[in-house]
Structure 1
Amino acid sequence: MTSPFTAEHEAFRKTVRDFVAGEVAPYVDAWEEAGIFPARELFTKFASIGAIGLEYAEADGGQGADHWYTVVLSEELGRVDCNAIPMAFNVQAYYATASLAEHGSPELKARWLVPSMRGELVAAIAVTEPDAGSDVAAIRTRARRDGDDWVINGAKIYITNGTQADWLCLLARTSDAPGYRGMSQIVVPTATPGLTVSRSLRKLGNKGSDTAELVFDNVRVPVTNTIGEIDRGFQQQMHQFNLERLTATYQAVGQMQFALERTVDYLRIRSAFGQPLLANQHLQYTVAELFAEVQILREYTYSCAAKFAAGEDIAQVSTVAKLKAGRLARTVADTCIQYHGGVGYMEETWVSRYFRDARLLSIGGGADEVLLRMLTKQYGIDQ
């Protein structure tokens, strides 16, 4: 297909790449070691180059840009030496804020969205629970109405930015309707009495971002903090998940391309049996095939992006994209670490980190098995 990117898109690509090199790359190792990064400080810097809320209205602190700028940004974030920072950034720029931007009242957007787009407030999305992961319809956290307030009780887990967030986009039950019915999205300030971080979680990968378990004990917020319609939160959340899967896939394509390029560079300079490793034809063919697989996935994601930009339903294509990206990322990461040998197994190397970080893509945002279940229904082959 003809390149969808204009000269302006490519200029933005260079801006993001330079930003990553100057403001992110030098600090990744320290943030990974600390298990946290300075979210407000870094998000403010991201905002200074217009990277947060690219497609949101300018009145809400966004840039009013087209979707291809999001593709560019996501691909370039794939060149960060870890997945933790891009993941936390995506929560701020898309996952926790998309429903607020689309469905929020003017008052909610002015109070929470606008400063978040400037990086002045840190956002998190609170959906997953200890007993309800990819099965969103099974969540139990309850918001009971008491006059003009919601009184919230329950727990959320695996919350990215959870220890630093100023506010949450919370999905909670607001009626007795079963399953996916009767849920609402609610803005919950984290300073509200009764809301506590019960623990900060240690992870296999993505170590540079904070991940929390949250407990809600009679947390009281105004009903006016509801995003969109009461009892329509599940539907709004599913719409947001489509965008989450797309941006994760764009980013994964950038990560895989960068990982393969770096692995080829290593194979050129690493010698064994009197010649560079890259002289081995088996290694050449394997890497060439992986480059081809990444190219196929990239073209598919561009097709998805075109559909999204045209306002088409992307529920199925975003599911396919995320499923294939997660599986291909595991293959690429495994090959890269294998071809680096012993040095790749050392924890301080980029390839070891990539191997650990890449594994999350087949779990977060909908596990592979959940995506396959969705596809069987969409293809009409479920029993």
Structure 2
Amino acid sequence: MERDLYESDHHLFRDMVRKFVAREISPHREKWESNGLVDRSAWTAAGAQGLLGFAAPEEFGGGGTTDFRYRMIVMEELCAGDAASFNAGLSVQDDLALPYVLDLGTAEQHERWLPGMCAGTAIGALAMTEPAAGSDLQRIRTTARRTDGGWVLDGQKTFITNGILADVVVVFARTDTAAGARGFTLFLVDTSLPGFRRGRKLEKLGLRGNDTAELFFDKIELSDADVLGTVGGGFGHLMDRLPRERLSIAASSTASAQAVFDRTRSYVSERTAFGQRIDGFQNSRFVLAEISTELDIAWAYLDRSIRLLNAEELTAVDAAKAKWWMSDLQQRVIDRCLQLHGGYGYMLEYPVARAYADARIQPIYGGTNEIMKEIIGRDLVR
């Protein structure tokens, strides 16, 4: 399907990103997956190339644009380059952590963190999930207690993407047990502070090159200057920014599904069985036809959603629809593509096998797809 989402500047940008991925990212994938960690040099290279901090002002080294199409191009090219782990890390940096700092941060917080986040020298993470609180954020136990000098932060988080490398963490904490949804506050936590501790680098099914960790906060002393946004406004701040996060997941899912489909088309055109090419069998053609049609539909809705986001009109329901449907589609597409590879599809040396494992997290994080359907359903019957 021909997409009309992009303009001439975007096409020039894509050429640059594609060359960067081929030169700086794809050759190192195997090493990063073995280490469970992307080298910091990749982050600084991305920053030097202008691939971080698109929405940050130019004075801080950012791109000075809120046009999400540039982020979309980065995701598409990283997925096409078999770099899902690095894509996940960049998505947390640019679609989660940085928007919180940019939208809610003070001038002092901007001066302190934005230049490094744009340059790749300061890696960000978002810490919401806890061992006993996943999608149900109101059950979190991490607390920030008022003191004469500011705050004392105690608690733990888990499943934190970029957790091992992170230099700054946006932490969601309970600050008033009696205030309900108004009893939560966001804090910007410098990971060099006394009391901050990283736990295990978690071993995951997929995205094995991306660092995911447990984080511990042991009586960390914070000041009012570390509060991000308003005291008691943390839950609202999260809700306001979840649509972008969920659209980012939908975008990554669609880009990954497309990349796997494109590789599979090449594979079935080159491999033979029973004396003919695999794509010469009717079943193969039917599967390819089904996937191609579903991807065209996904891109149409995704492109519409990106336009809405750029216009600041994307709703929570729009984003929930995109997130659940496209992340589920990713599972179906990759599963069928793996089947077309036969036994080779089960071998990790083939990108389709890695993509199969990498994709499984998509319906889970950012709010499970069951939660997405609940959001949509409540809107329909309220």
TM-score after normalising by structure 2: 0.96
Report matched runs for 1:72-87 at 5 Å.
72-87=73-88
Deviations 1:339-358 (A, max 9, x none): 11111111232111000001
- Whole-Å separation in 2 of the counterparts to 1:73 and 1:249: 14
Are the structure 2 counterparts of residues 341 and 214 from structure 1 closer, same or farther at C-alpha, using a change threshold of 3 Å? same
Decide whether the 8 Å contact of 1:55 with 1:63 is kept in 2.
yes
Shift of 1:178: 4.8
Report matched runs for 1:202-351 at 5 Å.
202-351=203-352
Amino acid at match of 1:368: N
Shift of 1:179: 4.2
SS in 2 for 1:214: strand
SS in 1 for 2:381: coil
- Whole-Å separation in 2 of the counterparts to 1:239 and 1:16: 30
Shift of 1:80: 3.1
Amino acid at match of 2:77: E
- Whole-Å separation in 2 of the counterparts to 1:182 and 1:300: 36
- Whole-Å separation in 2 of the counterparts to 1:334 and 1:22: 29
The residue aligned with 1:177 is 178
Are the structure 2 counterparts of residues 178 and 338 from structure 1 closer, same or farther at C-alpha, using a change threshold of 3 Å? farther
Amino acid at match of 1:186: F
Q: Are residues 1:63 and 2:59 paired?
A: no
Amino acid at match of 1:365: G
Shift of 1:4: 2.7
Shift of 1:113: 1.9
- Whole-Å separation in 2 of the counterparts to 1:118 and 1:257: 30
Decide whether the 8 Å contact of 1:169 with 1:186 is kept in 2.
yes
- Whole-Å separation in 2 of the counterparts to 1:242 and 1:213: 25
- Whole-Å separation in 1 of the counterparts to 2:248 and 2:30: 24
More divergent stretch after superposition (289-298 vs 170-179): 170-179
Decide whether the 8 Å contact of 2:56 with 2:118 is kept in 1.
no
More divergent stretch after superposition (60-69 vs 271-280): 60-69
Shift of 1:231: 0.9
Shift of 1:85: 1.0
SS in 2 for 1:180: helix
The residue aligned with 1:101 is 102
TM-score after normalising by structure 1: 0.96
The residue aligned with 1:369 is 370
SS in 2 for 1:215: strand
Shift of 1:82: 3.8
Are the structure 2 counterparts of residues 262 and 313 from structure 1 closer, same or farther at C-alpha, using a change threshold of 3 Å? closer
Amino acid at match of 2:208: K
The residue aligned with 1:167 is 168
Amino acid at match of 1:197: R
SS in 2 for 1:78: helix
SS in 1 for 2:325: helix
Amino acid at match of 2:308: K
Decide whether the 8 Å contact of 1:155 with 1:215 is kept in 2.
yes
SS in 2 for 1:375: helix
Decide whether the 8 Å contact of 2:243 with 2:314 is kept in 1.
no
- Whole-Å separation in 2 of the counterparts to 1:178 and 1:74: 39
- Whole-Å separation in 1 of the counterparts to 2:129 and 2:114: 22
Segments of 5+ residues of structure 1 without an aligned counterpart are none
The residue aligned with 1:16 is 17
- Whole-Å separation in 2 of the counterparts to 1:248 and 1:106: 30
- Whole-Å separation in 2 of the counterparts to 1:244 and 1:368: 14
Amino acid at match of 1:161: N
Deviations 1:22-53 (A, max 9, x none): 11100101111111111x32111111221111
Decide whether the 8 Å contact of 2:52 with 2:62 is kept in 1.
yes
The residue aligned with 1:130 is 131
Shift of 1:94: 2.2
More divergent stretch after superposition (74-83 vs 28-37): 74-83
Decide whether the 8 Å contact of 1:138 with 1:179 is kept in 2.
no
Shift of 1:15: 1.0
How much identity, in percent, do the aligned residues show? 35
State the aligned residue count: 380
Deviations 1:297-323 (A, max 9, x none): 111011111111112142111110010
- Whole-Å separation in 2 of the counterparts to 1:59 and 1:379: 44
The residue aligned with 1:352 is 353
SS in 2 for 1:197: strand
More divergent stretch after superposition (177-186 vs 120-129): 177-186
More divergent stretch after superposition (337-346 vs 62-71): 62-71
Q: Which runs of 4+ in 1 moved over 3 A?
A: none
Amino acid at match of 1:213: E
SS in 2 for 1:360: coil
How large is the RMSD of aligned CA atoms in angstroms?
1.5
Shift of 1:292: 1.1
